[in-house]
Amino acid sequence: MRRTGTAAVRRMLLFTGRAHPALAGHIAAELGTGIVPTQARDFANGEIYVRHEASVRGADCFVVQSHTDPINTWIMEQLIMVDALKRASARSITVVAPFYGYSRQDKKHRGREPISARLVADLMGAAGADRIITIDLHTDQIVGFFDGPVDHLFAMPILADHIAGLEPRDRLTVVSPDAGRVRVADRWCDRLGVPLAIVHKKRDKDVAHQVSVHEVVGDVAGRVCVLVDDMIDTAGTICAAAEALYEAGADDVIVAATHGILSGPAVDRLKNSRVSRFVFTDTLPSAADTGLDKVEVLSIAPLIAQAVREIFENGSVTSLLDDL
């Protein structure tokens, strides 16, 4: 914060790590501002060095870093960036994590397991973060892991409105790929005014990414099915669910997900799948790098920029959720 005469003028500063600078650039463009130059490099042993090249004293700082591969590197870089801002007397520090790492480890399924999503929140707080902005957490309870405000935004309006422009609504059926996503799929149904179906599956708890699809609950014959999920990692679950829908008589399947993690065999599975279209947002850089015509990537920058603006101007981030 600097003073002009007797009046204090607040400053908003936007920073980005090296994980997904293109998204930060789009957010900056939406805000009509620039990104503060930051030195970031790796030492020979893998340690990360960061130095912000402008004064941040008294400023409201927003640190953008999406937790993409290699995820541990980029989480650590964001923590170091936050620590540097705290030690440079920033007025406030908001972590912007469009994809929040370790969000699937939000509870103990078996004995002697960690709750890593809570650990990430604790690390952010310990580094000096006052607030977190994130998109489509794997579970809502993660909001309670951080001892401060968490602005949990949703990409559903962006994705759903795009899907609505692709097919007549009277042909659409929204499909949840498992019982855990039914609540999310139900919100899609309310927005689009279309019926709901569910793919019943069973996951092998001892074998990662091993899924057995059993049956489709709901009428999908002759319909265009929209499979909705928060993230697609190896794409095994979503592609198996799509096959079940085709076998149940679906005319076409469209997949919509906020986070395209797309690890390991995911791109090959997307390429070889009968799904006609995969729609993601750009919370992660991986979706845009597939090179597949059937993959579409929508910008999440306007939503994040609006949240940043509301926070800086002491407005209402809750107003962004009124469209759900």
For the chain, what percentages of helix, strand and coil (3-state, to nearest 5) are there?
35, 30, 40
Classify residue 46 by its DSSP letter.
Answer: S
Note whether 128 and 82 are within 8 A (CB).
yes
Has 201 been annotated as catalytic? yes
Indicate the SS3 state at residue 127: helix
The DSSP element (H or E) to which 41 belongs, if any, is strand 38-42
Beta bridge partners of 64: 16, 96
Q: Which of 86, 107, 108, 201 is catalytic?
A: 201
Handedness of CA 283, 264, 208, 116 (dihedral sign): negative
In angstroms, the CA 228 to CA 199 distance is: 11
In angstroms, the CA 53 to CA 229 distance is: 39
Which residues form the catalytic set? 201
